[in-house]
Structure 1
Amino acid sequence: MSEAAATRRRATTRERLLDAGRDLLAREGIHGASVEHICEHAGYTRGAFYSNFSSKDELVLALFEREFADLMRRLEVAVDPSTYAGMGPGDALSAIMDRFLQLRPPDLDFYLLHAEFQLRGMRGDIGGAEFNELWQTVTEQVGGIVQRVLDELNLRLSVPMSQVITILMGTYDTELHSALVNDRPMDEELLRVTLPGLLLAATEPAS
């Protein structure tokens, strides 16, 4: 096998292990999902696991890095200025939210994973400090994206960005939580209308 083929095979194995970890961690929790169960779910041996990750904790760290990288990629696509050129602020923000929901449909597994990661951060478990640091980076990146959109729409915030991000992300998470505990689909229409409305309420014309 060539070096390039071996590299591709290793990358495929790693992704399948991460996919299996995602499924199991969302359903069984970080403590409940064993390395053996993850290997079984992915269809690999323990040897394959340990050739990619030194421990389950390393897989957990790699998983939430992958999840947040995917979240940010999809958000960047959703805010492409060419897709809302010529629209008024309200319509533009609604179009961005609609596109984001299409690119990343509501995912209760992600909510459960995020809850697991948050608990690690609050408890100071292995990986908790790394999660807290990454989450801070994510919120800063989201703030940067929101600022770029507002600049495109010639709007400026009338309240601090940190408060806006807390409100927007908190509203999204609250709806996810409600959908999860009530065993129902997320109210996407609520998000399409409410999140843009909340952001507009915190802005004013820049000039």
Structure 2
Amino acid sequence: MQQTGATGRRREATRERLLDAGRDLLAREGIQGASVEHICEIAGYTRGAFYSNFSSKDELVIALFEREFAALVAQLEHAVDPQTYAGLGVAQALPAIMERFMELRPPDRDFYLLHAEFALRGVRGDIGGQEFNALWQGLLDQVLAVIQRVLDDLGLRLTIDLRSAGTILLGTYDAELREAVVAGRPMDRTLMLQTLPALLLSATEPVESRPPS
């Protein structure tokens, strides 16, 4: 039993190292440019070790994408913990959440490059493209659920479609992340802590204002 546990931990460590190497290489050379051999070289493993964990480079790409988005969702969940905005009014709660999220997830050039690679594959319908699109849809659903949960907690409801609000928020965040990565600077705090929360609040109303049915 102990041996099995130790073997499992070694296997997981190998898998994570291969994913780390893949993240580094794919961000620098793109999906097409990165080879299994080079990933193994960076990770310090043989091709045999690679193929005992992944059936192909495309499987590693999907696993990497799943890991990146799982980390993003985990950071978002930490940011929206009620303790983040406990005791704050509505106008202060959303900026507090955004500030916490920015602390947990500062601009990451490699993540942005990876996401761009994944997105192109999804648009082109290349190998793994459908998987990417399904994973992206799953991420969007999780983000929308978080937005809804926070608004419910604050006693607010949207006056526009939830998916439309999510698209606006994610689109603004993505555009600013791109600008920050290109310019090599932090993300614009005024945009993220004032403009974006104000934009969301402008599309909400207190739940108690709902007219009687």
Task: Give the TM-score range, shorter chain.
Answer: over 0.9
Alpha-carbon distance between aligned partners in 2 of 1:31 and 1:128, rounded to the nearest angstrom = 13
Instruction: Within 5 Å, give how 1:91-170 maps onto structure 2.
Output: 91-170=92-171
Instruction: Within 5 Å, give how 1:1-207 maps onto structure 2.
Output: 2-207=3-208
Shift of residue 83 of structure 1? 2.5
Question: What is the root-mean-square deviation in Å for CA atoms of aligned residues?
Answer: 1.3
Secondary structure of residue in 2 paired with 1:2: helix
Alpha-carbon distance between aligned partners in 1 of 2:108 and 2:78, rounded to the nearest angstrom = 18
Higher deviation after alignment, 174-183 or 152-161: 174-183
Alpha-carbon distance between aligned partners in 2 of 1:180 and 1:72, rounded to the nearest angstrom = 20
* Aligned residue pair count: 207
Contact 2:23 2:114 in 1 (8 A): yes
Shift of residue 43 of structure 1? 1.2
Alpha-carbon distance between aligned partners in 2 of 1:155 and 1:49, rounded to the nearest angstrom = 49
Higher deviation after alignment, 175-184 or 155-164: 175-184
**Letter of the structure 2 residue corresponding to residue 143 of structure 1:** L
- Over the matched positions of the two proteins, sequence identity in percent amounts to 69
Alpha-carbon distance between aligned partners in 1 of 2:188 and 2:31, rounded to the nearest angstrom = 28
Alpha-carbon distance between aligned partners in 2 of 1:86 and 1:185, rounded to the nearest angstrom = 28
TM-score, structure 1 as length reference: 0.96
Q: Deviations over 1:19-69 (max 9, x none)?
A: 111111111100011111111111111111111111100000100011111
Shift of residue 189 of structure 1? 4.1
Contact 2:80 2:150 in 1 (8 A): yes
Shift of residue 110 of structure 1? 0.9
Alpha-carbon distance between aligned partners in 2 of 1:157 and 1:104, rounded to the nearest angstrom = 26
Q: Which ranges of structure 2 fall in alignment gaps of 5 or more residues?
A: 209-213
Contact 2:122 2:129 in 1 (8 A): yes
Secondary structure of residue in 2 paired with 1:178: helix
**Letter of the structure 2 residue corresponding to residue 14 of structure 1:** R
**Letter of the structure 2 residue corresponding to residue 15 of structure 1:** E
Contact 2:107 2:180 in 1 (8 A): no
Alpha-carbon distance between aligned partners in 1 of 2:39 and 2:159, rounded to the nearest angstrom = 48
TM-score, structure 2 as length reference: 0.93
Q: Which ranges of structure 1 fall in alignment gaps of 5 or more residues?
A: none
**Letter of the structure 2 residue corresponding to residue 23 of structure 1:** D
Alpha-carbon distance between aligned partners in 1 of 2:69 and 2:192, rounded to the nearest angstrom = 20
